[in-house]
Structure 1
C-alpha cells in the first residue's frame, strides 16, 4: 500500500516519540508491573491517540492506516505492552463510540480520549465467559432513568487507569445473544471497584485488572446503541480488534528479526560470526520469508477493512495465522541467542513472552479456526 510523505513524517515523529518518552523508561515500567498514567497524557499531547477520530470530535480525521501504524511501530520497537494499551483505546473503544455512539456520547467522550484525559477499557471477559460472550453474567437492569449494574470482569486491559469502561452486560438475563447490551460506564461512579493488577508472564507493564460492579447506577443515556443489540455490535467491531492484534504480531515479527540480525552479525563462536553458520542463515531467511508472507496477508486485510468488506472469517484466518507465526518464528530466533536469549536483559526474551497471549485474546486461535471452518463447512 503506497503511503504519502505526510504519513512517513508522522511515522518518523512517532518513532522519535518512542525513543524519547518510552525507551529510556520501559524497562523500569516492566519491573514495576505498570506503566505510569502520565504516558497517556504524553501520547495525547503529542497527537498519537485515536488519530482517525473526525476533527469535529477533537481528532485529526486521519486515514485509518495512521492509527494502525502506531500499534505496529510500538510492537516493532519491543514495547508490546504499550501497543496493547494504545490499541485498546484507539482500535477498540474509539470505533465503538464513533460507529455506534449518539452525538452527545461522541461529543463528550471522544475529545477526552484523543487528548489522553480519559483512558478507556473494554470489559467483555468474565471468569466463566471468555470466548463465549453469550455466557456473561454481569447484569444491567433498567430502573427508571438508570441501569443498575452488578457483576465482575477479568483480564481487562487498561483496567487500573480506566476512566471510561465500555461494559458488555445482560440487560435481559433470560436471553442469550439478544439479551446483551453495551454501556458506557464512568469508572468514577459509586460502586465501581478496580481490583488487583493481574501479574502475567509477558506484557508485564500492561495494565490488566479485575473490575467489580456493585449496584452501579449508570444513566440511561449512556447505553451504547440499542438495547439487546450488543452482541451484534461486538461482531461488527471485532474485525478491527483482530486486525489490530495482527498488526502487533507483524510489528513484533519485524522487530524481533531486526535485533536478531544485528546480534548474529556481531556474535562470534568458533572463531567466526555465527551469521556464517548455515543453520543461522536458514533460520534468519525463513523468518524473513514468513514475515513477508504475514505482511502481505495483513496488507490485504487492511485494504479490505478500508473498503468496508473485511469479513469475520478472513480476519479470523489472519489473526490465527499471524499469531501462530509470531510465536513460532520468535521462538526460533531466540534460539540463536543461546543462553542469552533466556535472559531478561536481552530484548528477544521480551518479544518471546509477550507473543504468547496473542493466540489467546481477541478470541482464541481455536475459535478462529472454528469461524473459518463454519465459512467452509457450515455449523
Structure 2
C-alpha cells in the first residue's frame, strides 16, 4: 500500500507541475528501480517492468509514438469531428476570449482580471447623464406611454433626436457623441428605470444595427452619408434579420437577393432584386432605413464563379419602391415600435451593400462580430436598471407597508426575497461594470457577452418576480400608481430577443466556449483540418500530448484542492475575499477536468446533449459572475459596509456552480474505470466500494453552501434603511421625490416613515409601561400627545408619515368607462 501511495503521489506531483514526459518517465523509472532493490525479481516485478516499457517506450520515442498512438488517435478524432457549416464556423470565430479563457484553463491568472482598470465616465459623459438623460427621464410618463399613446410622445421623440441619443456610439467626426461602452450602458440603465419603451428606443440604434455595422464594415461613402444623419436622428434605423421561418437559425432564412441588371434612377445598373418577409423588427414600423440580411445568389455569374454567395447585408431606405412597413406587433403591452416588413421585387444598386461588393457573402460574419459586443451592453444594462429599480422601490415599500402593526420587511418570509433582490442586484451590477471595463479596453468577448445576456436577463426576471410577490395586490392592479406592473409584463421581451435564452444557455455559452476558450481544442481541430497529412499528424501529435498534460494537471490540481479545500494555493485578496478566490480556482480546475471528460466521452455528440451543455454553461457563468463580484468589491474600495452583499453574492454563485458540476457528473456517460472523478465533487457513489475508498482515502473537504439565515437577514436589512449601501447598490437609476409620481411618492413615504420611526418607538415603550392603550403606534398620536408622551412636532412627523404611507400604498381604481373607453347607455 505504501509503494502504491508513493506511485500515486509521483504521478499527481508530476501532473500538478506539468513536468515533461521524459522527466515524468525518469521519476517513475526511479520509483520502479527502488521497488526492485527492495523486492525480489518475481513475476509481479517483471510485470511492472514490462508495463513500464510497453507504456513509456512508445511515448518517448517519436517515431513509435506517431505510429502507435498519434496516428490512430488522429484517424479516430478526424472521423468523429462533426461537420461544421460556414455559419457555425463564423459564429465560433466571432469576438475574442478574455477571462472566460482563464476560467476554462483550470488555473486562472488573476492578474488578467484584477489589473483591469475600473470603468469610469468622462466629465462629458457624466454631464450628459446628469443633464439630457435626467431631463429625458423626467419627461417620461410610462402609464401614459403604454396605456394611452402606445408610443413615445412627439416631444420625447424630438428630444431624443436633438440630444443625439441615437448617436451614442457614433464618432464625433460624424456628429455623434462617441461615448464609451460604460457610458452607453449607464444611459440605457437609467432610462430603463423610468420607461422600457424609451430604453429600447435608444438602445437599439446603438446596439446591433446599421450604425454599428457601418462603423465596422461600411465604405467611407456610406459612413459619410449615413452616420451624420443617424447621429442627428434624421434617419431612424432598424435591423431586419428575423423572419417567420428563421429565428435563432439565421442560416435558414428564405429571404433572397438575385444579382441582375435593373433600372435605377433612369439608368441600367448592376444590382440586386430582393424579396423578403421579416418580423419582430424593433423600430421597424417607423424606420427610414433598414439594415436587411438576405441570401445572395448570382445565377448569371455577374460577380464571379460562385452562384450561392451567402448571407449579405444591405442598407435600404424604406421609401424604396416595393418596401412595405408600418404595421406593428403588440409585444406584451409594451409601447416600443416593433413590427413586420416586406419587400417585393425591390431593386437596389450594389453600392447599397454594407461595405460594397467586397462584402457580399460576409453578412453573417459581420452580424456575429458586432453582436459579440452589442449583446454585452444593451440588454444587460436594461436588466440592471430593472433590478436596481425594483430593489430600491420594493425595499422601501416593504418598510412603509405594515401588517399586524409591523413593517412587512421584518417578516422572515419577506426577508428572503428581499435578500435575494439585493444580492442579485449586486451580482448584476458587478458583471455589467466589469464587462464594460473590458469592452472599453478593447476586448470583444463573445462567450462572455452570451453569459451576460442570459444570466442578467434571467436574474432580473427573478428579482422582479420577488418584487411582485412582496407588492401583492398593489403589484397586480394596473394604473398610474403601479410602478412595477409594466416592468413585470415586459420581462419576456428581454428573455426572447438577441438570442432566445434557452438556446443561449444550451447551445452558445458552452458550445462556443468549449472551442474558443479551451487552450487546445481549436488547435486540434486546425490540425485535423490540415491538407498536408504528415504536417497535420506532427501538429496533432504535439497538441494532443500537450492536451493530455493539461488534463492531468487539472486533474491533479482539482484532486489536491478538493482534498485541502484549496487552503494552500496562492490567491489574491484579503481575509474576506481570499476564500472565494480559492473556491473559484478549485471549481475552475474541476470544470476544466469535466469539460475534457465530456469531450472525450461524447465527442461531436456533445453539441446535441443540451442538458449537459446547459449545466456546463451554468457552472462557467456562475464562476464568471463570482469573479466579477470580487473585482467590483475591490473597485469600490473593499468597503466593510458592503460585506453582506459580497458574501451573499459569492456564496450564491459558487454554490450554483458547484451544483451544476454535480449535475454534470450525474449525467455524463462516464466509464466505470474513472469512477474516482466523481469523488472529486460528489458524495453520491457509483458503487459501494468506490464510496468506501473515497471516504477513507480522499476526504472531501467543506463544500460550497448557499447564504445562511443570518446573511439573509443582513442583506434584507440593507433595503429597509436609508443608507450609503442602499444608495451605492441602486446608483445610476432615475430617482425623484415628487409626491404625484409613481416612484416619487414611494421615496417620499420611505423617508417620512423612517423619520417617524424613533417617535413610534417612544410610543411602543409607553405602551409596554401601560401608559397608552394597545394598537398600532402610528394610530395613537392623539392619545400620546394628550398624555405628553410625544411633542406636537413629533405628532406632526407621525401624521406626515401616515399621510405619505397612505399615498404610497393606495391602489388605482377606474370606472368601467375609463377601462373600456365605452360610455354606458
Q: Same fold (TM over 0.5)?
A: yes
| SS in structure 2 of the partner of residue 160 of structure 1 | helix
- Change in Cα spacing, 1:36 to 1:134, as seen in structure 2 (3 Å) is farther
Contact between 2:296 and 2:308, CA under 8 Å: does it hold in 1? no
User: Does the Cα contact within 8 Å between 1:134 and 1:176 map onto a contact in 2?
Assistant: no
Which of residues 244, 268, 275 in structure 1 aligns to 2:402?
A: 268
Task: State whether residues 33 and 199 of structure 1, in contact with CA within 8 Å, keep that contact through their aligned partners in structure 2.
Answer: no
Determine the structure 2 residue equivalent to 1:361.
497
Q: Structure 1 371/80 Cα, relative in aligned 2: closer, same or farther at 3 Å?
A: same
Give the alignment partner of residue 122 of structure 1, picking from 239, 252, 273.
239
Per the alignment, do residues 177 and 264 of structure 1 end up closer, same or farther by CA in structure 2, a change over 3 Å counting? farther
Larger Rg: 2
* Aligned-residue offset at 1:285: 2.0
CA contact (8 A) 1:316 1:368 kept: yes
Query: Quick check: 1:180–1:227 contact (8 Å CA) kept in 2?
Result: yes
- 8 Å CA contact 2:298, 2:309 repeated in 1: no
Structure 1: 4+ residue segments shifted above 4 A? 173-178
Q: Verify the 8 A CA contact 1:158 1:206 in the aligned structure 2.
A: yes
In 2 relative to 1, CA 330–128 (structure 1 residues): closer, same or farther, beyond 3 Å?
same
- Alpha carbons 1:172, 1:228 under 8 Å: kept: no
- Give 1:360 shift: 1.2
Is 1:241 equivalent to 2:374 in the alignment? yes
1:141 partner SS: strand
- Report what 1:52 is aligned to: 169
Q: Distance in 1 between matches of 2:381 and 2:391?
A: 15
Look up the match of 2:661. none
- Give 3-state SS (helix, strand or coil) of 1:70's partner: helix
The alignment partner of 1:336 has SS state of: helix
Partner Cα separation in structure 2 for residue 29 and residue 176 of structure 1: 49
How far apart in 2 are the matches of 1:35 and 1:45?
A: 15
Could you tell me which residue of structure 2 aligns to residue 8 of structure 1?
126
Distance 1:341 1:39, change over 3 A: same
| Greater mean deviation of Cα atoms: 92-101 or 167-176 | 167-176
Q: Cα RMSD between the aligned structures?
A: 2.1
After TM superposition, the structure 1 = structure 2 runs for residues 187-206 of structure 1, keeping only pairs within 5 Å, are 187-202=318-333, 204-206=334-336
Residues 1:147 and 2:272 aligned together: yes
Q: Is the 8 A contact 1:123 1:166 kept in 2?
A: yes
Q: TM-score, normalised by structure 2?
A: 0.44
Distance 1:273 1:161, change over 3 A: same
Structure 1: segments with no counterpart, 5+ residues: none
Shift of 1:303: 2.2
The separation in 2 between residues aligned to 1:250 and 1:63, in whole angstroms, is 18
More moved, 10-19 vs 154-163: 10-19
2:181 match:
64
Q: Measure how far apart 1:195 and its partner are.
A: 4.9
Give CA deviations for 1:234-291 in whole Å, capped at 9, x if unaligned.
1101123312111111111111212212222222222222222222233222211111
CA offsets per residue over residues 152-186 of structure 1, 9 Å max, x none? Answer: 10011001110011001111399999610001010
Worse-superposed segment, 206-215 or 261-270: 261-270
Shift of residue 358 of structure 1? 1.3
Distance 1:15 1:85, change over 3 A: closer
- Asked if structure 2 preserves the Cα contact closer than 8 Å seen for 1:84 and 1:206, the reply is yes
Taking the TM superposition and a 5 Å limit, the aligned residue runs for 1:23-34 are: 23=141, 26-31=142-147, 32-34=149-151
**In structure 2, C-alpha distance between the alignment counterparts of 1:37 and 1:182, rounded to whole Å:** 31
Higher helix share: 2
Contact kept, 8 Å, 1:48 with 1:70, in 2: the verdict is: no
CA contact (8 A) 1:50 1:67 kept: no
* CA distance in 2 between partners of 1:88 and 1:283 (Å): 32
Residue 35 (structure 1) aligned with residue 124 (structure 2) = no
For residue 109 of structure 1, the aligned residue among 191, 210, 226 is: 226
Cα distance between partner residues in 2 of 1:128 and 1:195: 21
1:1-379 alignment, distance < 5 Å: 1-23=119-141, 26-31=142-147, 32-36=149-153, 39-77=156-194, 79-93=195-209, 94-144=211-261, 145-172=270-297, 179-202=310-333, 204-225=334-355, 226-243=359-376, 244-345=378-479, 346-369=482-505, 370-374=507-511, 375-376=513-514, 379=607
Q: Is the 8 A contact 2:331 2:493 kept in 1?
A: no
Higher strand share: 1
TM-score by length of 1: 0.93
1:310-332 Cα offsets, whole Å, 9 max, x none, are 32211111111111101111101
2:285 alignment partner, SS class: coil
Q: Secondary structure at the match of 1:179?
A: strand
Secondary structure of residue in 2 paired with 1:188: coil
Q: CA deviation at 1:37?
A: 5.5
Gaps of 5+ in 2: 1-118, 262-269, 300-305, 515-598, 600-605, 608-825
**Cα drift, residue 106 of structure 1:** 0.9
Distance (whole Å) between structure 2 residues aligned to residue 49 and residue 316 of structure 1: 24
Query: CA, structure 1 residues 344+355, in 2 after alignment: closer, same or farther (shift >3 Å)?
Result: same
